[in-house]
Amino acid sequence: MISKKLAKAINEQINAELWSGYLYLSMSQDIFAKGFKGIAHWFKVQFLEEQAHAAIMINYLHSQGERVILAPIAKVQTEWKSVLAAFEDTLKHEQKVTALINNLCDIADDDKDRAAQNFLAWFVDEQVEEEENARDLIAQCKMIGDNMNGMLMLDKELAVRQYVTPSPLASAE
Protein backbone atom coordinates (compact mmCIF):
# COMPACT_ATOMS: atom_id res chain seq x y z
CA MET A 1 0.00 0.00 0.00
CA ILE A 2 1.32 3.42 -0.95
CA SER A 3 1.89 5.92 1.86
CA LYS A 4 0.05 9.23 1.91
CA LYS A 5 3.43 11.00 1.78
CA LEU A 6 4.45 9.20 -1.42
CA ALA A 7 1.01 9.64 -3.01
CA LYS A 8 1.20 13.38 -2.30
CA ALA A 9 4.73 13.55 -3.75
CA ILE A 10 3.68 11.69 -6.90
CA ASN A 11 0.73 14.06 -7.29
CA GLU A 12 3.22 16.94 -7.09
CA GLN A 13 5.41 15.18 -9.67
CA ILE A 14 2.44 14.85 -12.02
CA ASN A 15 2.15 18.63 -11.87
CA ALA A 16 5.90 18.96 -12.48
CA GLU A 17 5.68 16.67 -15.52
CA LEU A 18 2.78 18.66 -16.96
CA TRP A 19 4.72 21.88 -16.32
CA SER A 20 7.71 20.32 -18.10
CA GLY A 21 5.51 19.58 -21.09
CA TYR A 22 4.28 23.17 -21.08
CA LEU A 23 7.90 24.38 -20.97
CA TYR A 24 8.88 22.22 -23.94
CA LEU A 25 5.83 23.34 -25.90
CA SER A 26 6.89 26.93 -25.21
CA MET A 27 10.43 26.15 -26.40
CA SER A 28 8.98 24.54 -29.51
CA GLN A 29 6.97 27.66 -30.32
CA ASP A 30 9.92 30.00 -29.81
CA ILE A 31 12.28 27.87 -31.89
CA PHE A 32 9.62 27.56 -34.61
CA ALA A 33 9.36 31.36 -34.67
CA LYS A 34 13.14 31.49 -35.14
CA GLY A 35 12.74 29.41 -38.33
CA PHE A 36 13.98 26.01 -37.13
CA LYS A 37 10.99 23.75 -37.75
CA GLY A 38 12.94 20.53 -37.18
CA ILE A 39 14.32 21.61 -33.80
CA ALA A 40 10.86 22.90 -32.89
CA HIS A 41 9.55 19.44 -33.74
CA TRP A 42 12.15 17.87 -31.39
CA PHE A 43 10.83 20.05 -28.56
CA LYS A 44 7.24 19.15 -29.46
CA VAL A 45 8.13 15.47 -29.07
CA GLN A 46 9.59 16.36 -25.67
CA PHE A 47 6.23 17.94 -24.84
CA LEU A 48 4.45 14.70 -25.76
CA GLU A 49 6.88 12.65 -23.67
CA GLU A 50 6.29 14.81 -20.59
CA GLN A 51 2.53 14.40 -20.98
CA ALA A 52 3.10 10.65 -21.17
CA HIS A 53 5.21 10.73 -18.00
CA ALA A 54 2.33 12.43 -16.18
CA ALA A 55 -0.09 9.82 -17.55
CA ILE A 56 2.14 6.98 -16.32
CA MET A 57 2.13 8.48 -12.83
CA ILE A 58 -1.62 9.04 -12.95
CA ASN A 59 -2.11 5.38 -13.88
CA TYR A 60 0.14 4.31 -11.02
CA LEU A 61 -1.77 6.32 -8.44
CA HIS A 62 -5.02 4.88 -9.79
CA SER A 63 -3.58 1.36 -9.47
CA GLN A 64 -2.81 2.14 -5.84
CA GLY A 65 -6.35 3.34 -5.16
CA GLU A 66 -5.23 6.94 -4.77
CA ARG A 67 -6.90 10.07 -6.05
CA VAL A 68 -5.09 12.32 -8.52
CA ILE A 69 -5.22 16.01 -7.66
CA LEU A 70 -4.23 18.31 -10.51
CA ALA A 71 -2.76 21.68 -9.59
CA PRO A 72 -2.46 24.85 -11.68
CA ILE A 73 0.45 24.99 -14.11
CA ALA A 74 2.85 27.82 -13.38
CA LYS A 75 3.91 30.28 -16.07
CA VAL A 76 6.87 29.29 -18.25
CA GLN A 77 9.52 31.23 -20.11
CA THR A 78 8.51 32.05 -23.69
CA GLU A 79 11.72 33.18 -25.41
CA TRP A 80 15.30 31.98 -25.63
CA LYS A 81 18.31 33.81 -27.00
CA SER A 82 19.26 30.89 -29.23
CA VAL A 83 18.81 27.20 -29.90
CA LEU A 84 21.87 26.58 -27.72
CA ALA A 85 20.29 28.53 -24.85
CA ALA A 86 17.12 26.44 -25.15
CA PHE A 87 19.12 23.20 -25.00
CA GLU A 88 21.14 24.51 -22.04
CA ASP A 89 17.89 25.27 -20.24
CA THR A 90 16.68 21.79 -21.20
CA LEU A 91 19.67 20.23 -19.43
CA LYS A 92 19.18 22.37 -16.32
CA HIS A 93 15.52 21.48 -16.27
CA GLU A 94 16.15 17.76 -16.71
CA GLN A 95 18.68 17.85 -13.88
CA LYS A 96 15.99 19.39 -11.68
CA VAL A 97 13.53 16.67 -12.72
CA THR A 98 16.16 14.05 -11.90
CA ALA A 99 16.42 15.49 -8.38
CA LEU A 100 12.61 15.32 -8.05
CA ILE A 101 12.55 11.69 -9.21
CA ASN A 102 15.38 10.86 -6.81
CA ASN A 103 13.30 12.38 -4.00
CA LEU A 104 10.41 10.09 -4.91
CA CYS A 105 12.83 7.16 -4.81
CA ASP A 106 14.03 8.24 -1.36
CA ILE A 107 10.47 8.32 -0.06
CA ALA A 108 9.75 4.88 -1.57
CA ASP A 109 12.97 3.57 -0.01
CA ASP A 110 12.05 5.01 3.41
CA ASP A 111 8.60 3.43 3.10
CA LYS A 112 10.13 0.12 1.97
CA ASP A 113 7.56 0.26 -0.83
CA ARG A 114 8.87 -2.32 -3.30
CA ALA A 115 6.12 -1.64 -5.86
CA ALA A 116 6.92 2.07 -5.92
CA GLN A 117 10.67 1.38 -6.11
CA ASN A 118 10.06 -0.85 -9.13
CA PHE A 119 7.72 1.71 -10.71
CA LEU A 120 10.20 4.57 -10.22
CA ALA A 121 13.16 2.65 -11.68
CA TRP A 122 11.82 3.35 -15.19
CA PHE A 123 11.88 7.09 -14.47
CA VAL A 124 15.44 6.91 -13.13
CA ASP A 125 16.56 5.31 -16.41
CA GLU A 126 14.53 7.84 -18.40
CA GLN A 127 16.27 10.74 -16.67
CA VAL A 128 19.72 9.36 -17.50
CA GLU A 129 18.65 9.33 -21.15
CA GLU A 130 17.09 12.81 -20.99
CA GLU A 131 20.23 14.38 -19.53
CA GLU A 132 22.49 12.59 -21.99
CA ASN A 133 20.39 13.76 -24.96
CA ALA A 134 20.49 17.36 -23.73
CA ARG A 135 24.27 17.24 -23.21
CA ASP A 136 24.74 15.79 -26.71
CA LEU A 137 22.62 18.53 -28.30
CA ILE A 138 24.49 21.23 -26.37
CA ALA A 139 27.81 19.79 -27.59
CA GLN A 140 26.55 19.73 -31.18
CA CYS A 141 25.35 23.33 -30.99
CA LYS A 142 28.70 24.42 -29.57
CA MET A 143 30.55 22.62 -32.38
CA ILE A 144 28.28 24.29 -34.94
CA GLY A 145 28.80 27.73 -33.41
CA ASP A 146 27.71 30.46 -35.81
CA ASN A 147 27.78 28.17 -38.86
CA MET A 148 24.24 28.44 -40.24
CA ASN A 149 24.80 25.48 -42.57
CA GLY A 150 25.58 23.33 -39.53
CA MET A 151 22.49 24.58 -37.70
CA LEU A 152 20.34 23.82 -40.74
CA MET A 153 21.80 20.29 -40.83
CA LEU A 154 20.93 19.83 -37.14
CA ASP A 155 17.45 21.19 -37.82
CA LYS A 156 16.98 18.64 -40.59
CA GLU A 157 18.31 15.83 -38.38
CA LEU A 158 15.98 16.62 -35.47
CA ALA A 159 12.96 16.94 -37.78
CA VAL A 160 12.77 13.16 -38.16
CA ARG A 161 12.43 12.40 -34.45
CA GLN A 162 9.33 10.35 -33.79
CA TYR A 163 7.30 10.10 -30.62
CA VAL A 164 7.29 6.60 -29.21
CA THR A 165 4.74 5.65 -26.58
CA PRO A 166 6.72 4.85 -23.40
CA SER A 167 6.61 1.17 -22.46
CA PRO A 168 4.65 1.72 -19.21
CA LEU A 169 1.86 3.33 -21.24
CA ALA A 170 2.07 0.90 -24.15
CA SER A 171 1.49 -2.03 -21.80
CA ALA A 172 -1.52 -0.24 -20.28
CA GLU A 173 -3.29 0.20 -23.62
User: How many C-beta atoms surround the C-beta of residue 122 within 10 A?
Assistant: 15
The Cα 23–Cα 77 span in angstroms is: 7
Nearest one of 173, 141, 168 to 157, comparing CA atoms: 141
At 3 the three-state DSSP class reads: coil
Per-residue confidence (pLDDT) for residue 132, from 0 to 100: 98
The one-letter amino acid code at 15 reads: N
pLDDT confidence of 170, banded at 50, 70, 90?
A: confident
Give pLDDT tens digits for 150-164.
999 999 999 999 999
Domains of the chain, first to last = 4-165 (1.20.1260.10)
Give 61-94 pLDDT, tens digit per residue: 999 999 999 999 999 999 999 999 999 999 999 9
Q: What is the CA radius of gyration of the chain?
A: 17
How many residues appear in the chain? 173
Average pLDDT, the chain: 96
pTM for this one? Answer: 0.95
pLDDT band at 173 (very low <50, low <70, confident <90, very high): low
